[in-house]
Structure formats: C-alpha cells, structure tokens
C-alpha cells in the first residue's frame, strides 16, 4: 500500500563508483532490528523498500529516502521557489521534489564528490532547469551578481553539533546572495547544542 512518502522515493539505479555505492534495502514487516534501532534512539523505518547512498567505511548511510530523512527536508521542499541552490546532490531526493514544482524556475546543484555524480547525476541530468556544478560548496566562485531565491545546504553525513560551525561558515558565504537559506537538521543541532551546554554546566 502506498503512503505519503512514496512520492519522494528516488529512481537512482544501484551501482558502485570508487568508495561510493547506491543500493536498495528492504525493511520487512515486524522487523526486530528496525524496532530495536528505534528504541535505542534511532529513527524508525517503516516496512518497505528504500534506496541509500553509502560511503565505504562510513558507519551510517550518507543519505536515504526513508520517511524520517524525507521529513528532514520538507521545510525547504515547501518553501522552494524561483531560482534555488542545493549544496549537496546526495541521492537527488530533494532535487527530484523541487524540480517537480512549477514555481521553481532553475536549480543549481553543487556536488564535490565525482563518484556521487557518476552514480546519481545521470538520473536527473536531462532536466533543462537543472545545472550541476562539480565543486566544493565552500570555495566555489559564482559569477558576479548571481543570486538565488532560496538555498538548502546538505553536505554533512552525520548528525553532529560540530557541524554548526561549518553551517555558519556556509551561510555567511551566501548571506548576500540568497533570500532564504537553511541547512539539514540545523534546528535540531542547535537544540542539541543547548542541551549539551546545559548538561556540561549542570543546569
């Protein structure tokens, strides 16, 4: 039976390039491991078949199209309009979602990893409103006067409060070029950072 999140599932084919891999995985009904993962602080994965992007020796997938990860991006997907900037290609789940919106006129995607591009970009490269930039989000130079209506920064593979300084750096770079910008799980990281500080000071 389909559900709300099925429309966000990607069609990127399975494959391997260098240290990166795209693969399907299935969570069966009454999966004990998925349940235990949720009970131990992980985010539950409903039964179904999903796609994930994996980097060799990484503890967790860099990205998947599971409902929990979709929810992380819904704020931007809802806001996206005009010319958009995506720092991070990932599985292209966000790219697919905003490219389907008629109010989005153009999308610039910045991706540093050539192997990720090899695996994922062929699925989306036929879109005439999408331009891929093989570059580092922190150092890429844009033509003078380039601006975007909104931007989404998603170049981190782990939920870590150390990412906040990198998020701040990236947002400073685009502060005068973007009308609205935000980063993956930025609000959660700020909340977690405050919790860590309160714990450190015994509050």
Q: What is the pLDDT of residue 1?
A: 40
Q: At what angle do helices 163-174 and 186-200 cross, to 10 degrees?
A: 140
What's the predicted TM-score (pTM) here? 0.88
Torsion angle in degrees (nearest 10) through CA of 136, 139, 143, 145:
110
How many residues belong to the chain? 203
For 141-193, the DSSP string reads ---TT--EEEEEE----S--TTHHHHHHHHHHHHTTTEEEEEETTHHHHHHHH
Q: What is the pLDDT of residue 157?
A: 75
- How far is Cα 180 from Cα 42, in angstroms, rounded to an integer? 30
CATH number of 73-189: 3.40.50.150
Please report which residue ranges of 23-154 form alpha helices under DSSP H.
Answer: 32-39, 67-79, 93-99, 114-120
Q: What is the pLDDT of residue 158?
A: 75
Q: What is the pLDDT of residue 33?
A: 60
Domain spans of the chain, in order of start = 4-67, 73-189
Which stretches of the chain drop beneath a pLDDT of 50?
1, 39-40
Q: What is the pLDDT of residue 152?
A: 97
Q: Kindly give, in sequence order, each residue whose CB lies less than 8 Å from that of residue 176, ignoring residues fewer than 6 positions away.
A: none
Determine contact, residues 17/111, Cβ cutoff 8 Å: no
Q: Kindly give, in sequence order, each residue whose CB lies less than 8 Å from that of residue 20, ignoring residues fewer than 6 positions away.
A: 53, 54, 55, 56, 113, 115, 116, 119
């Amino acid at each position: 039976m389909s559900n709300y999140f099925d429309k966000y599932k990607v069609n990127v084919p399975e494959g391997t390039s260098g240290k990166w891999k795209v693969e399907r995985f299935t969570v069966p009904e009454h999966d004990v491991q998925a349940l235990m993962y949720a009970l131990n602080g992980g985010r539950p994965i409903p039964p179904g078949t999903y796609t994930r992007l994996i980097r060799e020796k990484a503890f967790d997938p860099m990205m998947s199209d599971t409902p929990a990860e979709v929810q992380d991006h819904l704020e931007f997907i809802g806001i996206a309009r005009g010319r958009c900037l995506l720092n991070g290609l990932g599985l292209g789940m966000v790219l697919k979602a905003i490219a389907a919106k008629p109010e989005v006129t153009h999308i610039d995607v910045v991706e540093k990893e050539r192997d990720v591009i090899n695996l994922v970009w062929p699925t989306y490269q036929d879109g005439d409103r999408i331009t891929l930039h093989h570059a580092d989000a922190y150092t890429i130079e844009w033509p003078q006067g380039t601006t975007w209506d909104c931007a989404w920064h998603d170049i981190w593979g782990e939920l870590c409060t150390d990412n906040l300084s990198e998020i701040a750096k990236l947002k400073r770079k685009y502060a005068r070029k973007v009308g609205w910008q935000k980063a993956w799980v930025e609000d959660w990281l700020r909340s977690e950072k405050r919790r860590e500080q309160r714990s450190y000071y015994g509050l």
